Structure 1
Amino acid sequence: MQLSDIGRVYFIGIGGIGMSAVARYFRSRGVWVGGYDRTVTPLTQKLESEGMEIHYEARVEALPEPGDDLLVVYTPAIPKDFPELVRVQGGGYTVLKRSEVLGLISRGMRCVGIAGTHGKTTTTTITTYLMVTAGLDPSAFLGGIARDFDGNYVHGDSDWVVVEADEYDRSFLRLNPEIAVVLSTDPDHLDIYGDHGKMLETGFRAYAKRVKPGGQLIVRYDVAEHFADVEEVMISTFGIGAGDFCAQNIRVESGAFHFDLREPDGHLITNLRTALPGRHNVENAVAACAVTRLAGGHEDDLREGLANFHGIARRFETVLKNGQLVVIDDYAHHPTELQAAISAARELYPNRPIRGVFQPHLYSRTQDFAAGFARALDLLDEAIIIPIYPAREEPIPGVTSQLVYGLMKNEKRRLLSKNQMLEATAELKDGVLLLLGAGDIDALVPRVVAQHSKSDNHGY
C-alpha cells in the first residue's frame, strides 16, 4: 500500500501516545480517521475534537467496512486475542503495526531517528524544536505532549521528519534514518530480547546498521564501542566532558543550566541555556544540538531554541508550587530514570526533603529490575510504592510491589494502595513530592494537586 492509496485509517489503540501522533498525521492529510481505545482520556477527547471517530467498547461490529482505501493500524501493546485485531488479521483488511506505518511515512524523507532506553521523548522534542527554530521545518512524531507544539505530532512542509525510534518490539528496525542517535543502551524490554547482549546485537546495533549510506550516527561516548564497526556512515560521539560534541563549563545560574558546546572541529559555542532540570537533560540537549548542526542549523538557532524550549508533559513537570510544597510529575519507569529524576530534584531543591511515590510499570520489568528500583528509591528521604501497573501483561507469580519494597533499605518507606497514597500525600505541608511512573499514576496527579489547591500557583 502506498500513502496515496489511503483514504481511511482505523487505529486499534488510538489513544496511545505513539498511535495518536500517527492518527494526527493522517488527519492532517484530510484522511478519515477512526479507532478504538479502552477508556476516554483527555487525549482521546482531543482527538475527537479534531474530527476523529472513536469508540470505547470492544466490538467487531464497530470496524469499518473493508476496502482498498482502508488501512488498519495496531500496536503490539494490544493483546493478540483482542476481538477486533483477530477479525482484521483474519483477512479482507490491510493491517500494519504502528512501526511499519512510520517506516512507510518516513520512506523517501530525510529521517532523524532518536533511539535509546532513556531520554528519547525529551531529545526528540528538543531536536524538533531546534530544527523548527533553524527554519528546517520538520514534521515530527513525538512520544509525549510537547508544550511548545501543544501535541505529539508536528506538521512540517520540508522533507525532514523526526521520529522517536522505539526499541520495544524492535520497532525502530522499520526506519532508515539519514541521521540516527543512540542515547543509551541500558537493559530494558528483556521480555522481548531475552538478555542485554541480544538487545544490543539485534536491537541497537541492527538499528545503527539501517542508517542510510553516507548518513550520520551520533552515539553517547560511553557506548560508542558497540558501534565502531558500523560501516558507510559518519560516527560522532556526544556527552558531558567527553565526546565529539561535548558539553563543558556546566553551571546553574538563576535556576537554569548553562553550558558551552565544543564541536568536533574544536569550535566552541558559548553560554547555551536550558531550563530543563538535571545534567541528564544537558546531555539530551547536546545530542539535539548535534543533530541540528549536522542538518544545517546555525549556532544562534541552538542558543535561541534551547533558551525558549518549554519541555514535555510528564517529563519532570512541575504541577504545583505553592511556596512550601513542590509537586513534580515524571514518567520515570526504569532505575536509571528514577535516579535521574531524584538527582535533578536534589540539585534544584538542595535544602528540602525529597519524597516520592512510585508506581512500577509491567510485571516483567519489576521482576528484572527490582534491585535497581530499590537502590534508586533509597535515594529518597521518604518513599511510597503503589501497586504495579500491568499494561499489556498478565501477573507473574511472586511479582508485586512488595518485591521492590522488600529490597529497599530506606526506613521511611511505605507500601500503599492508591487511595492510601492520596491520604498520605494530603498530609504533606512542605518539601518536594515526585510522582513517578509510566502507568496510570498520571490520572492521580490532578487529585494530588487538588489536595493542595489553596494556592493559585500550580500547573494543572
Structure 2
Amino acid sequence: MTETPTVRELPEVLRRPHLIGIGGAGMSGIARILLARGARVSGSDAKDSRAFLTLRAQGARIEVGQRAENLDVFDDAPSAIVVSTAIKESNPELAAARERDIPVLHRAEALAALMEGHRVACIAGTHGKTSTTSMLTVALQHCRLDPSFAIGGDLNESGANAHHGEGGIFVAEADESDGSFLSYTPSVAVVTNVEPDHLDHHGTAEAYHQVFTEFVRRIDPDGVLVVCVDDPAAADLATFADGIGLRVRRYGRAATGDGDAHVVDYRPSEDGGVVRVVLGGEELEVRVAVPGEHMAFNAVGALLAGLELGADPTALAEGLAAFGGVRRRFEYKGRSADVRVYDDYAHHPTEVEAQLRAVRQAAGSGRVVVVFQPHLYSRTKAFASEFGEALGLADEVVVLDVYGAREDPEPGVTGELVASRVRGANVHYEPAFDRVVPLVADLVKPGDLVVTMGAGDVTQLGPEVLAELDRRDH
C-alpha cells in the first residue's frame, strides 16, 4: 500500500477564520474540518440552517444576519475571511474585512490550504462529481483508510458532507462552476464528463472546456488522470494529458488499453445494478446499491481512483457495494397511497435524462411523475429544448417556474420555456408554488413513482406531497 504523508499543522491564516455564508454545502464542510483541526471558527449566514446545530456543538460562533460586528464575536480579529463566489463586495462583513486589511480567501483556497500534507484526490466533471466523490469516500472508509473529505452533499451513511480523517488522504469534490478548482493540485484527478454548463460565468462552451484543460495541467506531474472516455470531451482531455506526459487511466466501454477499466456489461437490479469490468486482464463485478447505469460508471471511476490511492481492489468493490447514496441524489422520501416519492438534484439536461432513465427502471410497471424546477435563468434559456426532450421520458411532467438563485430575472425566461418543449408526456406548467402539491396529488395513481427534481427549493415538496396523499387516503 502507498505510504501517506504526515498531515501538517493548521495553516496560520486559518487558525481564526470567519466564514461568510457558513451554512452552504461547501462552506459548512470547510467549517467542520477547520473545527476538527482546532481552529476557532466564526461565521454568518442570511438565514438559519440545519448545519448550524452541528457546527455550534463543535464550538463555532455563528450569527444569523450579516453585519460588520459579526467579525468580532471572539476577542481577537479573524485571521482570514472565507467567502464563496456568491458573496458580493457589498456584503457588510466582506466590506469591513477589506477596510481592516484582513486577508480574504475564496473557499477553494481555504480548502486547498487544508489539503496540504495529504495525498489529494479531486473529482471533477459536469455531472456525477458529488456521487463519485461520495462513492470513493465510502469505499476508502470501508478499506479503513480514514480519508478526510469535502463533498457537495451529505453522505447517507454518516449524514456529513465533510470530515477530518487521520489517514493522510484528502478526497474532494472539485467545482468547475466558477473555475475555483484551479486552486487544487491533486495527485489523483477524476473527470467524469465535460458538457457546457455555468455559461453565466464561463461565457462560452469553449471557455468552459478550456477550464478543464487547465485543471488537468494542475495535476501533480507524478500523479494520474482518471477519465471516462465514453464522453467525447473527456476523452479529448485524456489525449491532452497523454500529450503533456501525464499518466492516464481510462474507464468506460471505449476504454481498452493497459491499466484501463473496460466496461463490458451493466445489469439493473431491484436494489441498484451490477457492472462488469475487465481490469488488468481480469473480470471484476462491481455492485452498486443506487439505480442507473450512470451511477455504475461513477463507481468504476471511484474504483480506479481508490486503486491509485493504494486501496485493495476487493475491499474497494465491497465498499462501493455498501454505498447508500447521497442526500438529494434519488433520495427516497417515503410512500403513501401506494405512491413512492423521491427527490433528486438533477438540474442539467444530461443529468435529468440519465436520472429519468434510472427512475423508469425503478418504477417498474408504475408511471413516472416528475416535478421539475428549472435552475438559473441563463441555464433555462440556453437548454430549454434539451430539458424538454429529457423530461419527455416521464409520463406526467409538472414544470415549476425558474429558481433564480444568484441571478436576476430575465424577461421572457420562465418555466414555460421548458414546459412548451416537452414531447411524449403529459405536461403541466404551474408557476404558483403553493398549487403544485394538490396538482401532483390529483395526478398520481397507485403504483406511480414521483420524483421532485432540481437544485432549488423544489426539494421541499416531496414531504408535502406525502402528507397530502396521507390526508386524502384517510
Shorter-chain TM range is over 0.9
2:387·2:418 contact (CA, 8 Å) conserved in 1? Answer: yes
**Once the 2 structures are TM-superposed, how far is the Cα of residue 356 of structure 1 from its aligned partner?**
0.6
Give secondary structure in 2 for the equivalent of 1:112: strand
Aligned equivalent of 2:468: 451
Shift of 1:299: 2.0
Whether the 8 Å contact between 2:191 and 2:227 is mirrored in structure 1 is: yes
CA displacement, residues 298-323 of structure 1 (integer Å, 9 cap, x when unaligned): 12212311221111110011111347
Q: Deviations over 1:16-37 (max 9, x none)?
A: 1011000001111222222111
Residue of structure 2 equivalent to 1:256? 272
Q: 1:425 to 1:47 in 2, by over 3 A?
A: farther
1:183 corresponds to which residue? 192
Whether the 8 Å contact between 1:10 and 1:35 is mirrored in structure 2 is yes
Higher mean displacement: 432-441 or 300-309: 300-309
- Selected match of 2:235 from 208, 213, 224: 224
Shift of 1:256: 2.8
Listed as ranges, the matches of 1:17-416 within 5 Å are 17-64=25-72, 70-201=79-210, 203-221=211-229, 222=231, 223-230=234-241, 231-240=244-253, 242-243=255-256, 244-263=260-279, 265-269=280-284, 271-322=285-336, 324-410=338-424, 412-416=426-430
TM-score by length of 1: 0.93
After superposition, what is the alpha-carbon deviation per residue over 1:380-434, rounded to whole angstroms, capped at 9, x for unaligned?
Answer: 1111111211111111222111221222335621111111101112333430111
How far apart, CA to CA, are the structure 1 residues paired with 2:214 and 2:34?
A: 29
Partners of 1:370 and 1:204 lie apart in 2 by 25
C-alpha contact (below 8 Å) 1:79/1:392 kept by paired residues: no
| Paired letter, 1:54 | I
Write out per-residue CA displacement over residues 242-289 of structure 1, whole angstroms, 9 at most, x where no aligned residue.
Answer: 4521232322344331122211x22222x3211111000000000000
How far apart in 1 are the matches of 2:98 and 2:462? 38
The answer on whether the counterparts of 1:317 and 1:330 sit within 8 Å (CA) in structure 2 is yes
What is the letter of the counterpart of residue 441 of structure 1? V
- Distance of 2:381 and 2:16 partners within structure 1: 41
* Secondary structure at 1:151 match in 2: coil
Contact 2:194 / 2:209 at 8 angstroms: preserved in 1? yes
* TM-superposed deviation, 1:2: 6.7
What is aligned with 1:458?
none
Matched with 2:5 is none
CA distance in 2, matches of 1:41, 1:276: 28
> Partner of 1:148: helix, strand, or coil?
coil
Counterpart position of 1:436: 453
**Secondary structure in 1 matching 2:277:** strand
Q: TM-score, normalised by structure 2?
A: 0.90
Task: Tell me, yes or no, if the aligned pair for 2:22 and 2:28 is still in contact at 8 Å.
Answer: yes
Alignment partners' CA distance in 2, 1:59 and 1:311: 37
1:64-97 Cα distance to aligned partner (Å, 9 max, x none): 2795762211111123322222222334211101
Give the whole-Å Cα distance in 2 for the aligned partners of 1:140 and 1:56.
Answer: 27
The percent of aligned pairs where both chains have the same amino acid is: 35
Q: Report the AA paired with residue 195 of structure 1.
A: T
- Aligned mates of 2:89, 2:415 — CA distance in 1: 26
Of 26-35 and 318-327, more deviation after overlay is shown by: 318-327
Distance 1:227 1:80, change over 3 A: farther
Tell me: CA distance 1:340–1:37, structure 2 relative to 1, closer, same or farther (3 Å).
same
- Distance in 2 separating the partners of 1:379 and 1:418: 23
- The reply to whether residue 13 of structure 1 matches residue 30 of structure 2 is no
Change beyond 3 A, Cα 1:315–1:48: same
Distance 1:2 1:155, change over 3 A: closer
Query: Quick one: which amino acid aligns to residue 246 of structure 1?
Result: H
SS of the counterpart of 1:212?
A: coil
Q: What is the total number of aligned residue pairs between the two structures?
A: 453
Unaligned runs of 5+ in 1: 456-460
